[in-house]
Structure 1
Amino acid sequence: MEPSSKLHRAHVLVVPYPGQGHINPMLQFSKRLVSKGLKATLVLTVHIAKSMHADPSSSINLETISDGHDLGGRASAKSMQAYLTCFQTVGSRGLAELIHKLDCSGRPVDAIIYDGFLPWVLDVAKQCEKLGVVFFTQTCAVNNIYYHVQRGLLPLPLSGDSVKVPGLPPLEPSETPSFVCKLGTYPAFYDMVINQFMNVDEADFVLCDTFYELEKEVVDWMSTNLWPLKTIGPTLPSLYLDKRLPDDAAYGINLFTPTTTSTVFTWLRHHPPHSVVYVSFGSFAELDPSQFSELAHGLALAGHPFLWIVRSSEQHKLPRDLMDSIPSKEALILPWCDQLEILTNDSIGCFVTHCGLNSVIEAICLGVPMVAMPQWTDQGTNAKFVEDVWRVGVRARADEAGLVRRKEVERRVREVLGGGERGVEMADSARRWMAAAKASISEGGSSDRNIDDFVAKLATRSSVE
């Protein structure tokens, strides 16, 4: 779709939940909208804006609102519940003031695209007489489960050995999100994920950060029975997908300082193709010291060189005696890195991941098989699909104590990289899904068509209203 002067007048505010895994996909979607003629303004909290590393050449405007914790962000709040309550109170007021400011400054807002974790933003949009667009940052499978819980259609606590939700394969209770199968854990997070659907029926558009081919059955069911949702992913930088956005080579905002690329690639160059195990558990998950020890020993036993991302705040948990005994050419520990650049490197053959959705989608888009070690929230459901539905990885199973033991880590890594029948199948599946992901966002693909349709409808409705 070619931009037109009419489309250029449509202006969207984009409001993500203040976390790296939420900012990235919503920022990337904003870039797609700008490439199709819309104006986009990303709204971040004051604290995030102060602490981030941003691309100064970005085509996306930035504005800030307060979450009531400008100096320390969520970490400075007394509790997660206290933070969310404060963010809603202070953020609602600040967002309404921002909309008024933009409306009066020659940049009027037509629609607000908001993270499903922040349903109060829709209330502000309606109060300000703007279109409200919900953007779900988890899979349709996970959202469908939460929807059924919120509407009382999936009673809790779960009972029986199988959980049946329309559009999904039968699930073991442990394969549902942790807030569902372990009812009562992290009540503030439970409320946040379930309350996404408290007012969703009032949204003007429903967008999901996935692509149709990846979740065809559940997307069809939800579109037919709930809302006409649009899949608009994958939301990686264009360089790694269709290459149609020439300046889109990175996410553009980092809350952590990545290690210089030269350090990583100098180390990777010494290893043959598809031989290195890449290990990362994202920006939020925290492992127990005992799990660190089991994972480290398992990686050493697997016999493959490994690159392990361990945040600075977590490095004291590493088993130092073991790590010091491994030659530096066989193990590299870094506090953070550009994950996309790592996953595209030819030496990477396996990704040991917590199965946060962004990491799973990056691995799928870049054709890297996975060893899944889910920790909490939606990760167990994502891991189920990685192994049994998409067939691009295996799950490393925890024992009765909740630990993934070293022998299990060793076995699963070797299963992916050992050259056996299952490993070959995973590699083939990974290549097929990589092609499907790129096709979906390329010109005429399922997500590209959905974005074009959204842009056209938004332009039409904003011009009328």
Structure 2
Amino acid sequence: MMCTISMPVVFEVAREHKIPLAVYWIQPATTLATYYHYFHGYDELIHAHSTEPTYEVSFPGLYPLKICDMPTFFSETTPNELSTTIMQALQELFQQIDQERPMVLVNTFTALESIALDAIKPYMDIIDVGPVVPPLGALHRQQVNEKDYMEWLGMQLENSVVYLSFGSMITYTKRQLEEILEGLEECGRPYLWVVRKEGCMEVVDFDLQVVKGGKGMVVEWCDQLQVLFHPSLGCFVTHCGWNSTLEAIVAGVPMVAVPSWSDQPLNARLVEKEWSVGVRAVRDAEGVLTQKELARCVELVMGDSEKAMKVKENANNLKTKAHDVLVTSGPLEISLRGFINRIQDQKGHVSI
């Protein structure tokens, strides 16, 4: 039986029916280590400095992390119902992990997060099983507008397109939409931007089909992995959800990180500081990504500067490491087979 971070009740079911149980952690190992130590003695220190975004905390085995780089739930001064529910569920999950000592499968790989994996292994039974990304052929779904955007990508120069997607939960104010459009105009590069109509809060008259200057394309959905692997892609402006971050790594696409909540700031920190495969954008006092900041960050990863060249080189090197993990009989397959063997041994079956 498998339990995700949001279903600690599964422990009770597995215990009652004597079913082998494993936890699947869908965020990076760095986040796992951070949450673990938060619930094991570091909560008071973090709360005491929650209004100091640059205050650094050193967790055992990890590099120092600033408050602004940690999961957003740690520093909320007035937690809402959703964040309170999430933190309660996570606390219960770590209590169950302490008591039951299940195997914990983490969607990462050693070449990506060796420091974090080593830091958390003394406290729990860790198996790295990432990067978990679907093969291109398996995820292909024909959509109404797919022919249009793929044909459009095919007409662009190699490494020239800015791809923007901020996940399924983001909502935009009218000002934010305008700032992004103006920033893209300032960049002067072709772009593909995914905007869901239901995510445009406070926006009544925003026409998704109107693209200024004819340099870009706005769609409500796209096959993200297919887009990221397209040779025309030059960078990915992303909210830094872990799935999107891993997909960009596997595709070798440099990132402009624009995190909002949960683990996204920590993922952005990894992108910029640990792996140097992108840059983190800074929002203004109202939490808006301004046109100047968007244009600045895109140029930092797509331009001809020494920094841009290094980011591109690092992104390509990390892509190679990720593909080395995914090969037949490679580290990922070995990890998964080892996990299956252990589950079968617990059930009294013969190992494969």
* Fold equivalence (TM over 0.5): yes
Structure 1 residues 432, 410: closer, same or farther in 2, change over 3 A?
A: same
Q: Please give the alpha-carbon distance, in whole angstroms, between the structure 1 residues aligned to 2:292 and 2:120.
A: 40
CA RMSD of aligned residues (A): 2.3
Residue number in structure 1 paired with 2:166: 281
Cα distance in 2 for partners of 1:357, 1:199 equals: 24
Helix, strand or coil for the counterpart of 2:226?
helix
Q: Determine which of 406, 425, 440 is the counterpart of 2:291.
A: 406
Whole-angstrom CA distance in 2 between matches of 1:157 and 1:347: 45
How far off is 1:463 after superposition?
A: 2.4
Residue of structure 2 aligned with 1:352, choices 229, 237, 240: 237
For structure 1, list consecutive stretches of 5 or more residues without a partner in the other structure: 1-111, 240-247
- What is the aligned counterpart of 1:249 among 121, 138, 150? 138
Q: Partner residue of 1:206?
A: 104
CA contact (8 A) 1:395 1:412 kept: yes
Tell me: CA distance 1:119–1:262, structure 2 relative to 1, closer, same or farther (3 Å): same
AA of the residue aligned to 1:179: F
Q: 1:131 to 1:217 in 2, by over 3 A?
A: same
Quote the offset at 1:181 in angstroms.
Answer: 2.2
Name the aligned partner's letter for residue 21 of structure 2.
Answer: G
**Structure 2 runs not aligned, ≥5 long:** none
| 8 A contact 1:134–1:203 mirrored in 2 | no
**2:118 alignment counterpart:** 220
How much has 1:464 moved relative to structure 2?
A: 5.5
Q: Within 5 A, what are the aligned runs for 1:262-273?
A: 262-273=147-158
Q: Normalising by structure 1, report the TM-score.
A: 0.69
Q: Within 2, Cα distance between the matches of 1:204 and 1:348? A: 41
Secondary structure of 1:351's partner?
strand
Indicate conservation of the 8 Å contact 1:373/1:396, yes or no: yes
Q: Does 1:131 align with 2:20?
A: yes
TM-aligned CA deviation for residue 152 of structure 1: 2.7
SS at match of 1:285: coil
Separation (CA, whole Å) in 2 of partners of 1:344 and 1:322: 24
2:92 to 189, 192, 195: 195
2:204 and 2:316 mapped to 1: Cα distance? 34
How does 1:139-218 map onto structure 2 within 5 Å?
139-155=28-44, 156-159=46-49, 161-185=55-79, 186-201=83-98, 202-218=100-116
The alignment status of 1:429 with 2:305, answered yes or no, reads no
- Once the two structures are TM-superposed, the CA of residue 271 in structure 1 deviates from its matched residue by 0.9
1:158–1:181 contact (8 Å) kept in structure 2: no
Alignment check: 8 A CA contact 2:195 2:208 kept = no
Task: Indicate whether 1:297 and 2:182 are aligned.
Answer: yes
Q: What is the deviation of 1:258?
A: 4.7
Deviation at 1:175, TM superposition (A): 0.6
- 1: CA distance, partners of 2:252 / 2:10: 36
Tell me how far apart the structure 2 counterparts of residues 312 and 326 of structure 1 sit (CA, whole Å).
Answer: 18
How much does 1:200 deviate?
1.2
Pair 1:132–1:183, CA change in 2 (3 A) = farther
CA displacement, residues 322-366 of structure 1 (integer Å, 9 cap, x when unaligned): 9846144x1211111110110011111010000000000000000
Asked if structure 2 preserves the Cα contact closer than 8 Å seen for 1:296 and 1:319, the reply is no
Checking the alignment, whether the CA contact within 8 Å between 1:237 and 1:251 is kept in structure 2 is: no
Q: 1:300 and 1:352, CA in 2 relative to 1: closer, same or farther beyond 3 A?
A: same
Separation of aligned partners in 2, 1:351 and 1:325: 19
Partner-residue secondary structure (3-state), 1:169: coil
Percent same amino acid among aligned pairs?
A: 32
Instruction: Tell me the alpha carbon deviations over residues 96-146 of structure 1, each in whole angstroms, 9 at most, x when there is no partner.
Output: xxxxxxxxxxxxxxxx01212211111111111101110000111111111
Secondary structure at the counterpart of residue 184 of structure 2 = helix
Matched, 1:236 2:133: yes
Q: Deviations over 1:224-270 (max 9, x none)?
A: x211200001111244xxxxxxxx62188xxxx95542111111122
- Is the Cα–Cα contact under 8 Å of residues 278 and 308 in structure 1 kept in the other structure? yes
**Residue deviations 1:17-49, cap 9 Å, x none?**
xxxxxxxxxxxxxxxxxxxxxxxxxxxxxxxxx
**Structure 2 SS opposite 1:345:** coil
Partner of 1:326: 212
Aligned partners of 2:151 and 2:347: how far apart in 1? Answer: 51
Alignment coverage as a number of residue pairs: 340
Hey, what's the Cα distance between the residues in 2 that align with 1:190 and 1:268? 41
Shift in Å at residue 428 of structure 1?
Answer: 0.6
Q: In the alignment, does 2:273 pair up with 1:377?
A: no
